Every structure is written in C-alpha cells, then in structure tokens.
C-alpha cells in the first residue's frame, strides 16, 4: 500500500547535514518527496512510498547521521505530495 506523509522534525536538525541525510536515505529506500528547512529551526519532510519502506526509512532517520538529534518527529497522512517521482532537497 502506498502512503503519503507530511512530517516535521525538530531538535538539532539544521546545520548538521540532516537534509542531505534524509535525501540519501530516501533514495536508498526508493521514496519520493522532499525535505526543506523551516524558519523556526525545524525541518519539513514530505514522503511517499510503500508503508513498509516508509516505516523502515522513518526508523533510520530517527537514528540520525551522527550529528543530528531529533527531539520530536510529527507525522500526518496526506492526499497530495508534489514530487515528480523524485526526492529533492528544497531551498525555498
């Protein structure tokens, strides 16, 4: 089953390579979506893929890249994610 989620990661997630880490892990798990920094220091993540792959990926990103520390990861399912069948780092 394909699922789509909007997520917000907060903690030490900016300036530590977290977006690149999320991107690389998404590619490894064959997921679509995007990741971008927010003005409040958190990171927005949109992801689409099979339930199994998304669950594995979430477990991995919660572990972090050795520099990041997620204090909170909120998630909600959504109907629409604009991804053009890629995963990207957004700079908007």
Q: What is the pTM of this model?
A: 0.93
**Domain 2-82: which CATH number of 3.40.190.290, 3.30.70.100, 3.40.50.10540, 3.40.1390.10:** 3.30.70.100
Order of strands across the sheet that contains 43-50? 69-77, 2-12, 43-50, 32-37, 87-89
Residue pair 50/1 in contact (Cβ under 8 Å)? The answer is: yes
Q: Enumerate the active-site residues.
A: 19, 37
**What's the confidence (pLDDT) of residue 92?**
81
Which tens digits make up the pLDDT trace of 22-73?
A: 999 999 999 999 999 999 999 999 999 999 999 999 999 999 999 999 999 9
The domains of the chain are located at 2-82
**What's the confidence (pLDDT) of residue 81?**
73
């Amino acid at each position: 089953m394909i699922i789509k989620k909007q997520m917000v990661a907060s903690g030490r997630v900016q300036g530590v390579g977290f977006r690149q880490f999320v991107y690389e892990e998404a590619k490894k798990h064959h997921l679509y979506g995007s990741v971008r920094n927010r003005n409040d220091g958190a990171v927005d993540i949109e992801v689409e893929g099979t339930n199994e792959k998304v669950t594995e990926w979430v477990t991995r990103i919660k572990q972090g890249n050795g520099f990041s520390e997620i204090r909170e990861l909120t998630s909600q399912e959504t109907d629409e994610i604009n991804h053009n069948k890629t995963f990207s780092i957004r700079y908007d």
